[in-house]
Each structure stands twice: as C-alpha cells, then as structure tokens.
Amino acid sequence: MRTEPIHPDFGLIVHDVDLREATAERLYPEIREAFETHSALLFPAQSLDDAAHLRLARLFGPLENRGAMAAGRDLPFEIPEVSNAEGDGVADAESLHVLNLQANMLWHTDSTFLPVPALVNILTARVVPTEGGETELASTRAGWAGMPDAMKDRLRDAILWHRLSHSRGRIAAELAALPEMTRWPDRPWRAIWPNPVTGEEALYIASHAFAVEGMGLEEGQTLIDEAMAVCAQPEHVYSHHWRPGDVLIWDERAVLHRGRPWDYAEPRVLKSICCSATEADGPATVRVV
C-alpha cells in the first residue's frame, strides 16, 4: 500500500487500494496493521456500494446492530445513514432529526453508552454539500501522551460514566427526552484503553461522558471537558473535506470525532457502519466488573 500521513499525530492516507477487493487473506491484514498503528485511515475515491461496505466491515468484527441490542434478539441490520436528506428534499433545519445531527458535532466516541463498545467506524460519503460538512478527528492516544501529568494522575485510574441523553441534552432537552436517547442505562468504562497490539494507551472519552466516579458531578464534568479539550486542540485535529466515494476508517478506542455544520438546505449523506469490539480488541481493560 502506498501511504502518506494524514496528520503529524496520527493517521494515513492510503492510495492505490480498491477496498472492494479486500478479503481476510488479501489487503485486510495490511489494513488492520495500519489501523492498529495509526488509528485512522483515509481511502480516497472508492466505489463502495452497500454490499461492499458490509463485506469490508465484517472483516473488522461483528456489525453493531443497536436495534438488536435494544430488543435483546436478532433483528435485520440496516446500514445507518448520517444524513439530512428526506424524501425528495431535506429535513427541516429545526427538526429533531437535524438537532441530532448537530449533537454529532460535539467531540465524541461512538457507542460508549452501549453494553459492547465499538472498535471501528467505517464511514463513506455518498452525497456532499457544496461546502462545510467536514468530519474532524483527534487522537486520544496522542492527547493522552501529551497531557499534563497532573491531569493524567486524575484520570489514569478513573471510571467515567456515559449516557447518550447527556450529549443530546447539550443540544436540546426535547432531543434528550426521546425514547431512543433514554433506552440505554448509564454505562461505566475505565478511562484508559491500551491497544492490545501496540501497547500504547489512549484516553477513552466522549461527549456522552457525564461523571467521574468518586467526584461531584460538576467537578467530574469539568475534568472530562478539560481532558477532551487537550486532545482536540486545533493543531491536533484533522479535518476531512469529503468527496463522494471517500472512505474514512478510525479506531473508536483511540480517536475522537465530530461533524461540522453545512447549509442544511443542501443534502449531505454519509453511510456509517460501526463494528463491536471483540475480546481480542481489549475491552476487558476498560470494562468495570
């Protein structure tokens, strides 16, 4: 694979690879090695339809099926869309649907409120606006490595509590109150997730995090916000300007991400598949038992 850095802190742009050709024996081993080492991979100008997107995702692990998790039984998997498209037009800019898209513009890690954490997000662009709508990434591995020692001391053995409705409540109370935002019980995870392949530590944190065990709510939230701000300083952020076909893959154990605004009169359609972490991916190190 021909590669170049995305950012000095993390990430690779991978050229001359057709992801439709990836199999467990061909291409995927090299992709997985780069994923473990560099945390984020960009494959420009791909041609992934839904079937190819699913084949690629299954190489990383079990598809994250939130509907099945919530129901406690098998349900068909549908590829989630991150989109303001609706029918032949776009959703109202004041709708709860668009407010939920705006909640994704907070720095976050996917799925920290679920019983099984995510390993990876594989995100591809189908329709992009004229301008804006970027996806930004920041490495919590690099953020942790460069964090002031006093902050590290407070976080190293910390347990963070996560709640989906917490992040949605930062946008609108009515968004946070929706049943799909409140159906998951509060979830605790240890704050540091070491990579089982490289041994490097990363801060496991998100806008869903609302408390630090053993601290008052205000003190804990302040520490969470300050730690995320260290990781997401502007000079440490990669901002991806989408073109149709681009595929962006990142390690949910070690990368924060957020969307950016665009003119909601224009459609923006991304398709996202998260895969759940298996025991080989190290969730035992963050699980609270």
The Cα–Cα gap between 287 and 266 comes to: 41
Which whole-number Å values give the CA distances from 80 to 121, 124, 197, 243, 244, in the listed order? 11, 11, 29, 19, 17
- What tokens were used for 34? 């780069």
Number of domains into which the chain is organized: 1
- pLDDT at site 1: 87
The Cα–Cα gap between 20 and 269 comes to: 20
The Cα–Cα gap between 171 and 123 comes to: 23
- Of 67-76, 113-122, 268-277, least confident by mean pLDDT is 67-76
The Cα–Cα gap between 57 and 252 comes to: 14
pLDDT tens digits along 56-98:
999 999 999 998 988 888 899 999 999 999 988 999 999 999 9
Residues 188, 160 contacting (CB under 8 angstroms): yes
The Cα–Cα gap between 193 and 141 comes to: 9
pLDDT tens digits along 81-90:
999 999 889 9
The Cα–Cα gap between 172 and 195 comes to: 35
Q: What is the mean pLDDT of residues 118-139?
A: 98
The Cα–Cα gap between 97 and 92 comes to: 8
Residues 242, 91 contacting (CB under 8 angstroms): no
Task: Write the CB contacts of 70 (distance below 8 Å, at least 6 apart in sequence).
Answer: 183, 184
The boundaries of the domain holding residue 123 are 2-285
Q: Which pTM value belongs to this model?
A: 0.96
The Cα–Cα gap between 283 and 189 comes to: 9
CATH (domain of 108): 3.60.130.10
- pLDDT at site 71: 84
